Amino acid sequence: MNSELRPWIALRLTPGIGTVVCKNLLETFGSPERIMAASQEELAAVSGMSARTAQALKSSLANPEIDRELAKLSGTDIYSSTYTAPDYPQALKNIYDPPPYLYIRGRLQPADGNAVAVVGSRNASDYGLRAAADISRDLARAGLTIVSGMAAGIDAAAHRGALSAGGRTIAVLGCGADVCYPAENRRLYDAIAATGAILSEHAPGTGPDAYHFPARNRIISGMARAILVVEAGPKSGSLITARLALEQGRDVFAVPGSIYSFKARGAHQLIRSGAALVESGQDIIDALGMAASSGPAQPEAPAIETLSPEARRICDLLAAGPAHIDRLICETGLSSGAISAVLLELELGGFVRQLPGKHFACSNA
């Protein structure tokens, strides 16, 4: 597989060849092998190519960076789906600037063609977190895959909502697929990789540089049939994702918020511009023409008696009211890693919900 990936990496590493030019080359020649076999004159005739770029491409296979990138991939559980591979997402292939290939941990499935992207504020309110989780849970129960960026706030809540319904969710990262960012989402990262997919257009080991995230947004919207913005300020990156979705021909939905909340202004701006107002997952299911019962059966909620002593202790503590994770650590004596694992178990079981600022509360509170 690594030898097959070599010409793909060479294409990406060649100066002057971005995602659009790469797509033009693939549509002209059909495969990277044929691209490499073409003459400089044939290459230079492709839209976006120049004689200088064609010359650089002819010698690109000798770039030592290719071997370094392949070495990072070797021995991991990450695989690559190329633009011409059968499992490459068809919806993503049809956008203006699809990534030539994706690095994936977990697995993509044909059912992921029915996906909804859920995005919003990192610094979300309790209302926003509950809306993202509840709506994502409804959508997952209907058989829709939830796509988001695994950021703190709305993204994480959407992933957790899908997981709590036993559904599929995909995280699109602005770093390597082997890099958990933010680090606090490690347990969520592992849960997504186990049952869904973590994917990135960046090589393993790539850090979360700020300029990666705007480009990442086109993949989030490109993989989905529709996008839902739950909570976003007027200059939020979520609005960029919504704009990309419109350019890609996707449906855009938004959850309304309080007129007094700055975080609701972006969603309200979208609604004024024509986005459909959403109050429940059923609104999106109806708009997409799907039956609410077409998805996997909802997993049976575990009884509290079946929980570990640590989990029951946390439930008892939260029965008195919301608490910060640091307080739970002090009260239980668990490490931060251990308590994060227990809290994720409780969230997926429907016992607790996460509030802004790493506070937690009983789900029925």
Q: Are 95 and 248 in contact (CB under 8 A)?
A: yes
Are 219 and 213 in contact, with CB atoms under 8 Å apart?
Answer: no
Q: What is the pLDDT of residues 32-90, one digit of tens each?
A: 999 999 999 999 999 999 999 999 999 999 999 999 888 888 878 999 999 999 999 99
How far is residue 280's CA from residue 134's CA, in Å, rounded to a whole number? Answer: 8
| Highest mean pLDDT, choosing among 140-149, 318-327, 351-360 | 140-149
3-class secondary structure, 169: strand
- The tokens describing 157, both together, are 């809540």
3-class DSSP assignment, residue 9: helix
Q: Specify the pLDDT at position 303.
A: 63
Judged against a pLDDT cut of 90, whether residue 307 lies above it is answered with no
Q: What is the pLDDT confidence band of residue 364, given thresholds at 50, 70 and 90?
A: confident
- d(CA 218, CA 122) in angstroms, rounded, equals 18
**What pLDDT does residue 346 have?**
85
Closest CA to 236 of 139, 149, 161, 355: 149
Question: What per-residue confidence (pLDDT) applies to 301?
Answer: 53
pTM, entire model: 0.84
Give me the pLDDT at residue 302, please. Answer: 59
Contact present, 276 and 253 (Cβ < 8 Å): yes
3-state helix/strand/coil string of 216-280: HHHHHHHCCCEEEECCCCCCCHHHHHHHHHHHCCCEEEECCCCCCCHHHHHHHHHHHCCCEECCC
What's the average model confidence in pLDDT over 172-195? 94
Q: Would you state the pLDDT for residue 365?
A: 63
Q: What is the pLDDT of residue 304?
A: 67
Q: What is the DSSP letter of 111?
A: G
- Could you tell me the domains of the chain? 1-75 (1.10.150.20), 110-287 (3.40.50.450), 304-362 (1.10.10.10)
Percentage of the chain modeled with pLDDT above 90: 69
Whether cis (ω within 30° of 0) applies to the bond prior to 182 is: yes
Return the pLDDT at 297. 46
pLDDT value of residue 293:
46
pLDDT at 236: 86
pLDDT for res 253: 97
User: Any idea of the CA torsion for 149, 83, 111, 148, to the nearest 10 degrees?
Assistant: 10
| Strand pairing report for 101-106 and 78-82 | antiparallel
Tell me the pLDDT tens digit for each residue of 237-267. Answer: 899 899 999 999 999 999 999 999 999 999 9
The pLDDT of residue 137 is 94
Tell me the per-residue pLDDT of 215-226, one tens digit each, with 9 for 90 and over: 999 999 999 999
